[in-house]
Structure 1
């Protein structure tokens, strides 16, 4: 899953310029958490005010650097047609495709856009490398080598998800911001992204999936994180996506087989910019929980991680944010609205200074965990409390 965030990015998280114009092909690399023999694709135009013309789509098992395994290449159809038009503000789902995939095995989705490709809907922070042709290069969805794809991005254009057909399997959605998204900064400033984590699948939902697999539970984890996301209002910039409640239906409730959701939001309400009160954040959580319960989904509410020594969401918000975060976390621990509480804060904070991340778990910006921190977050989730694991 790659939750749609925006259509306005000119740079990806690695600060690489994005070049979407017309008559070009996108080769988007995705990593399903579950293997199978039949898949279907979700393509998105959810944040674009214009129709998106799709000329042809293929799917294949990915090889190195944008190449694909030739014998796995399949043409994708939509209601029997090899082309489609996605209406403004909309998504489409493909027909089933016979393709054998493996858990954590990379899959390439190649999408040819013959008309105007500018402002494609994207998931801003993909933490994985995808590829593009130059504008006006034409249809290269059938190419098995990477020669036609000189451009790279760590955003995820056009592809919102991949479903694998499975019987007796349920889904847990990890719903949150950049910490769910798996972002790690290369610097104390919070940007650009740390290149060593790209293509490594070291987000906390990835580690959680590995724990579930080791336990033999028939359960798939969907990552619905959007970097910069907030509970109380839309993102401070378009790349940070719509507010949590605004995207809850599409990014959680409508997902196939969902039984559980882990919610980890709130730090950006405190700091981008300063403004949200504890009462506002608590009211937002209360609404989220009520809507999810009415949809029959179990809610596991996470405490907000500390960040007082970070620049963003930390030092720039002192002395406001630590006491507000502590008040919200106290409410999360004491409330009985959610089915369970996942105490991410207790798992990662420094015992000597509970307002900062422990050094062994902190990334360079002291806001986002490193890979060890994301692994620790996954360990904090009680598998036996997830409905889909019972």
Structure 2
């Protein structure tokens, strides 16, 4: 899953400029948490104000970089047609495609946009490298070498996810959150650009959680619905931070195939981005999320907010300072009985000697986002017994 964020594709999290113009081919890399042999591709135009024409789509297994395994390339159709027009604000789902692949085996979705492709809907922080061609270079999706795909990005435009056919007892766990669910790791104390050493490594906490679930033999697939900068009470401070969690809960959680459980792990951006939300606003938004999810018959696992002491973003630069509100919100999360369970990420990652900060072994350079070890610790803090099997 790659939750749509915006269509302001000027640069990616590595500050690499983006150049979507017209008549271009994209090879977009997604790493599925579940293997299988039948798959559907979700394409999105959710944030673009005008329709977008898709001329040709393929699916294959990535071999290296922009190249795919030639014998794995499959044509992707939409209602039997090779091309499709996605309306403004809309999404489309492909016909079923037969392709056998394993969990965590990178797949490449090739997309040719024959017309104007300016401002494609994207997932801003993909934490994976995708590839695309220069403008006006035509349809290259059938070329397994990817030699014409000379541009790269760590955002993912156009593709919102994959569905994999699974047995009836398999459920989906949606990890709804912000940049900490998205797996962002900063390169420096300022918080930007991203640390490129974690890109393409699948070291987000939902990745580690999936590995734990697989090792335990539990029938669940984890969908990452994290959006960097996302808030529960308000839309993103900038467009890349996406619509607020209450507004996107239907599309990004409730409507997902096979969903049974939702982990809600966000709120620090509500407190930390000036002018910060207050305690009552954050709690009201949590209650709204819980009500919507319960009404859809889903289990809700509400997570505490990680500490940000020593950080600039969502920390020292916050006006007003958020730490007292975070402590009060976390106390409410631990005490309330409206969610099905509570996941205490704060207790798992805070420094025992300075509880308002991340433990040094878990903190990334900006002291706001965990490092890979911190994301592993988050996954390890989740009691897998909270997830119950679906009835087949």
**TM-score after normalising by structure 2:** 0.98
1:260 and 1:388 in contact (8 A); partners too: no
- Superposition deviation, residue 129 in structure 1: 0.2
Residue 136 (structure 2) pairs with residue 139 (structure 1): no
Query: Residues 235 and 169 from structure 1, CA distance in 2 versus in 1: closer, same or farther, beyond 3 angstroms?
Result: same
Q: For residue 346 of structure 2, give the secondary structure of its aligned residue in structure 1.
A: helix
1:298 and 1:387 in contact (8 A); partners too: no
| Aligned residue number for residue 77 of structure 2 | 77
2:274 and 2:319 in contact (8 A); partners too: no
Q: For residue 98 of structure 1, give the secondary structure of its aligned residue in structure 2.
A: strand
| Aligned residue number for residue 11 of structure 1 | 11
| Aligned residue number for residue 118 of structure 2 | 118
| Aligned residue number for residue 334 of structure 1 | 335
2:276 and 2:319 in contact (8 A); partners too: no
1:236 and 1:273 in contact (8 A); partners too: no
Deviations 1:274-331 (A, max 9, x none): 3200110000000000000000000000000000210000001266200000000000
**TM-score after normalising by structure 1:** 0.99
Q: Distance in 1 between matches of 2:325 and 2:42?
A: 38
Deviations 1:58-103 (A, max 9, x none): 0001110110000010000000000000000000000000011110
- Superposition deviation, residue 112 in structure 1: 0.3
Q: Distance in 2 between matches of 1:159 and 1:126?
A: 11
Q: For residue 100 of structure 1, give the secondary structure of its aligned residue in structure 2.
A: strand
1:217 and 1:389 in contact (8 A); partners too: no
- Superposition deviation, residue 386 in structure 1: 1.2
1:27 and 1:108 in contact (8 A); partners too: yes
| Aligned residue number for residue 64 of structure 2 | 64
Q: Distance in 1 between matches of 2:55 and 2:387?
A: 41
Residue 192 (structure 2) pairs with residue 210 (structure 1): no
Q: Distance in 2 between matches of 1:21 and 1:102?
A: 34
| Aligned residue number for residue 233 of structure 2 | 232
| Aligned residue number for residue 310 of structure 1 | 311
Q: Distance in 1 between matches of 2:60 and 2:346?
A: 40
Q: Distance in 2 between matches of 1:85 and 1:39?
A: 21
- Superposition deviation, residue 389 in structure 1: 8.0
2:5 and 2:241 in contact (8 A); partners too: yes
Q: Distance in 2 between matches of 1:301 and 1:320?
A: 23
Q: For residue 68 of structure 2, give the secondary structure of its aligned residue in structure 1.
A: coil
| Aligned residue number for residue 354 of structure 1 | 355
Runs of 4+ in 1 over 4 A off after TM superposition: none
Q: For residue 209 of structure 2, give the secondary structure of its aligned residue in structure 1.
A: helix
- Superposition deviation, residue 388 in structure 1: 3.6
Unaligned runs of 5+ in 1: none
- Superposition deviation, residue 171 in structure 1: 0.3
Q: Distance in 2 between matches of 1:274 and 1:305?
A: 19
Residue 242 (structure 2) pairs with residue 241 (structure 1): yes
| Aligned residue number for residue 162 of structure 1 | 162
| Aligned residue number for residue 127 of structure 2 | 127
| Aligned residue number for residue 34 of structure 1 | 34
- Superposition deviation, residue 19 in structure 1: 0.3
1:308 and 1:318 in contact (8 A); partners too: no
Q: For residue 231 of structure 2, give the secondary structure of its aligned residue in structure 1.
A: coil
| Aligned residue number for residue 102 of structure 2 | 102
- Superposition deviation, residue 199 in structure 1: 0.2
Q: For residue 360 of structure 1, give the secondary structure of its aligned residue in structure 2.
A: coil
